[in-house]
Chain A
Amino acid sequence: MKDPAVGRSGTPAKDEASLFGVMAEFDTAERILQAARRVHEDGYRHVDAFTPFPVEGLAEVIGFTREWLPSIALMGGVLGGIGGFVMQYYAAVIGSPLNVGGRPLNSWPSFVPITFELTVLGAALSAVLGMLALNWLPRPYHPVFNVPRFALASRDRFFLLIRADDPHFDRERTWQRLLELGASDLFEVEP
C-alpha cells in the first residue's frame, strides 16, 4: 500500500537516470480513461493519473485493487467504542465507585451515549488519518509539480504519467505511444 512513487528503489536505465517519467496531457475525462486503459493493456504498471475531479473507474483501470479504508474505519470505530465503554466502566466501578441506594455500579445503559459518540469519533479520525497515511500526504514536494502545465491538473486538464522505473518504460517508445493515444501535449518530468 506504499505510494509507488516513494518506493522507487529500482535502478533505472542509465540514459533515463535523470527522468522521473513521461507525462501526457488530455482534454477530457473520457480520453484519459481510454488512454489509461490502453497503457495498462500494454503492460505498463507504474502509471498514475491526475485529474481535476474524481473520474469514475480511472483508478481501477490503472490497477487500484484493494480498498483498505472501510476496514481501517471499522477498526477505529471498534477501538473507540470499546475504549469508551472501558473508560466509563473503570471510572464508575473501579476508579470511584459511588453507591447510590444500592443501585448497580455498572449501570451500562447510561454509558451508551458516550460509547456511541466515541465509536463515531474513532471511526472518523481513523478514516481520515488512514486516507492521509495511505496517500502519503501531507507531502510538500513531488516531481510532477516540476511540469509548469501541471498547475492545470487542479483546473480543467487531465494528466497521465508513466514513470521511468516501469520495466516497459522506454523514453522514445513510451513517448510515441502516448502521442498515438491522443495526448494533446507531452512532458518529461524531472525527478
Chain B
Amino acid sequence: MRPRPDRLGPEISAKPSVMAPGLTYASVSDQLSSLVLERPASRGWMIGFGIGLVLVMVLLYAVTYLFTTGVGIWGIAMPVAWGFAITNFVWWIGIGHAGTLISAILLLMRLHWRTSIARFAEAMTVFAVANAALFPLLHLGRPWRFYYILPYPNVMGLWPQFRSPLVWDFFAVMTYFTVSLIFWYTGMVPDLATVRDRAKGRFSRIVYGFLASGWRGSTIHWRRYETVYWLLALLATPLVVSVHSIVSLDFAVAIVPGWHTTIFPPYFVAGAIFSGLAMVLVLTIPLRKYYGLDNLITKMHLDNMAKLMLVTGLIVTYAYAQDAFMGWYSGNPFERYENLNRAFGPYAAVYWATLVCNVLSPLPLWFKRVRQNIPALMVISILVLVGMWLERFMIIVVSLHRDYLPSAWGMFSPTIWDWAVLWGVIGLFIVYFFLFIRYLPMISMAETRRLIHDLQPTGEER
C-alpha cells in the first residue's frame, strides 16, 4: 500500500475508538442492510411511529381549521404579528444546520468520525428544513397565493420585491433544501445499490433498484462520484453560514428594538448549530441503543458532538452578553428598555429559562465524565432544544410586544391551535425520521467500508 500523507495514517488507526475492533466490509454491510431489509418492526418502532402519526393527525386537524378560518385562530394580533409560526420556522431551520456541518464541514476537514453519523444527520437536515418551510406557508393567511413569491412572468405584471429579506429568505431556504436533498441522495446511491443486491423480495428489489439508479460501483463512476461529493460539500459549507444569516436579516433589517443589531447573523448561525447538535444527540442516543449500533457509533462520537455543542453554546452565551451590553452601551433608551423588559417584564420567565437552558446547562460538558454519561447528555440536549426554542420566542415575541410607543404595546398569548401546530410538526418530524430509519440505510456503508480499509495497518491485508 502506498503511503498517504494526507490520509489516516497508522498513528490514527492506533486509536480504536472510532469504531469497534473486528469489523469487516462484509459484517458492516450485512449489519446495516439487514436493518433495512429484515424489517425489525419492533414494538418500540411501532409505538414511536404511532405517537408521530397521532401528532400528524392533530396537525392536519389544526391546519384544516387554519385554512378554513384564518390565522386569527392563533394568538397573533398587532403588535405581535409574528408568533409561534415564525418561532418554529427559525427553530427548525436552525436545527437543520448541524446536519450540514457534520456532513460537509467535517468531510472537508477529513475528520473520519463523521462517517457513522453523517447520514442520519443529513436526513435530520432534510426533514427539519422541510418542516421549517411549512411555517411561512401556514403563516401566510392566504397560503394558496404563496406562488406570488416566485418570479415568473404573469399577466398582472408583478414581480417579487427582491430588496426584501423575506424574498431572500425564500431563495435561501429553497436552495438549502434542494442542495441538502441532493447531497443526501447522492451519498445514499452506493448504499441503495448494496441494499438492492442484498434484497430478496421482488418488490424491494424493484424499489431499491430504482432508487439505486443502476449503480454498479465502477471505479470510473466512483472517481466522478467522489469529486461530486467533495464539490457538494464545498458548496454546502457556505450554506451553513448563509442560510441562517439571511433568516436573521428578516429581523435585523427591521427597526424594532432588539432586532436591529449587526450581531444577528453570527448569533443566529451559532444558535442554529447549537440546537442542531442537540437534536443530533437526541436522535443518536436512542438509535445506537435500540439498533445495536454502538460498534459504529462509539462514545467518541458522543463525546465529540458534546464538545461541539459546548463550543457553540459558549458562542451563544457570548452573543447574549454582547446583546445586553450593546443595549446598555448604545445609549438608546428603546434598546435599553427592551433589554430590561426581557429580563424583568411580563415575559421574564422566558428570558431566565433561556439562560438556564442555553448558558448553564451545557457547562457540565466541560467534564469528560458528563460527556461520557449518556443520560446526562440526553437531558442536556433536550434542555438545549427547549432553550433554543425559547430564545427564538424571546427574540420574536418579546421584542415585538413593546416597541416605541407605549400606546401600541400589547401582549401575546398562544392559543390551543398554536400548540397544536407546534406539536403536530414535531410529530411530522418523528414520522419522517421513523420511516427513514426503517426504509433507508441510516449509516453510510460505502464510507464505513472505506474507513475500515483506511484504518487497517499499512501493508496488512484483510
A116 contacts which chain B residues (CB < 8 A)?
238, 242
**Interface residue SS majority, chain A:** helix
Are A118's CB and B171's CB within 8 A?
A: yes
Q: Would A128 and B228 count as touching, CB distance under 8 A?
A: yes
Q: How far is the CB of A97 from chain B (nearest CB, A)?
A: 10
Flag if A123 contacts B1 (CB, 8 Å).
Answer: no
Nearest chain B residue, comparing its CB with the CB of A56? B4
Compute how far the CA of A31 lies from the CA of B450 in the bound complex, rounded to whole angstroms: 16
Decide: A156 near B26, CB < 8 A? Known: A48-B219, A59-B223, A69-B227: yes
> Contact between A57 and B235 (Cβ–Cβ < 8 Å)?
no
Q: Please, which residues of chain A bring their CB within 8 A of the CB of B197?
A: 151-155
Could you tell me if A91 and B162 are in contact, using CB atoms closer than 8 angstroms? yes
Interface string of B8-24 (1 = CB under 8 A from A): 00000000000000001
- A54 & B226 in contact (Cβ 8 Å cutoff): yes
Selected contact of B171 from candidates A64, A113, A150, CB within 8 Å: A113
- With the chains together, A57 CA to B3 CA distance in Å? 12
Compute how far the CA of A73 lies from the CA of B225 in the bound complex, rounded to whole angstroms.
13
Knowing A52-B449, A53-B449, A67-B227 are in contact, say whether A114-B220 is a contact too (CB < 8 A): no
A152 contacts across to B, CB distance below 8 A: 197
Cα–Cα distance between A16 and B220 once the two chains are bound (Å): 25
Cα-based distance from A48 to B446 in the complex (angstroms) = 19
Is the C-beta of B218 less than 8 angstroms from some C-beta in chain A? yes
Closest CB-CB distance, A56 to chain B, in whole Å?
7
How far, in angstroms, from A106 to B165 measured CA to CA in the complex? Answer: 16
What is the 8 Å Cβ interface bit string for chain B, positions 442-462, against chain A (1 contact, 0 not)?
A: 000011011001000000011
Does A99 touch B at the CB level, under 8 Å?
no
Report whether B217 and A153 are in contact in the complex, using a CB–CB cutoff of 8 Å.
Answer: yes
| A32 vs chain B, min Cβ distance (A) | 9
Q: How far is the CB of B263 from chain A (nearest CB, A)?
A: 18
B157 lies within 8 A of A96 (CB): yes
A145 to B222, CA, bound (A): 17
Q: Assuming A114-B168, A156-B29, is B182 touching A96 (CB within 8 A)?
A: no
Partner of A121, one of B168, B179, B216, B224: B179
Q: Is the CB of A50 within 8 A of B235?
A: no
- Say whether B163 contacts A50, CB under 8 Å: no
Do B213 and A139 touch (CB < 8 A)? yes
Give Cα A30–Cα B220 distance, bound, in whole angstroms: 17
Chain B residues positioned under 8 Å from A30 (CB to CB): 1, 461
Contact partner of A55 (CB less than 8 A), chosen from B219, B231, B246, B249, is B219
The interface-forming segment of B186-194, B376-384, B417-425 is: B186-194
* A140 close to B (CB within 8 Å): yes
Q: Which of A50, A53, A142 counts the most B-chain CB atoms under 10 A from its CB?
A: A53
Interface residues of A (CB under 8 A from B): 27-31, 48-59, 62, 64, 67, 69-70, 73, 87-88, 91-92, 95-96, 98, 107, 110-111, 113-114, 116-118, 120-121, 123-125, 127-128, 130-132, 134-135, 137-142, 144-145, 150-156
18 contacts between A and B (CB under 8 A): A48-B219, A50-B217, A53-B450, A53-B453, A55-B222, A56-B4, A58-B222, A64-B223, A91-B151, A92-B163, A118-B171, A120-B175, A124-B183, A124-B235, A128-B186, A138-B213, A139-B214, A151-B198
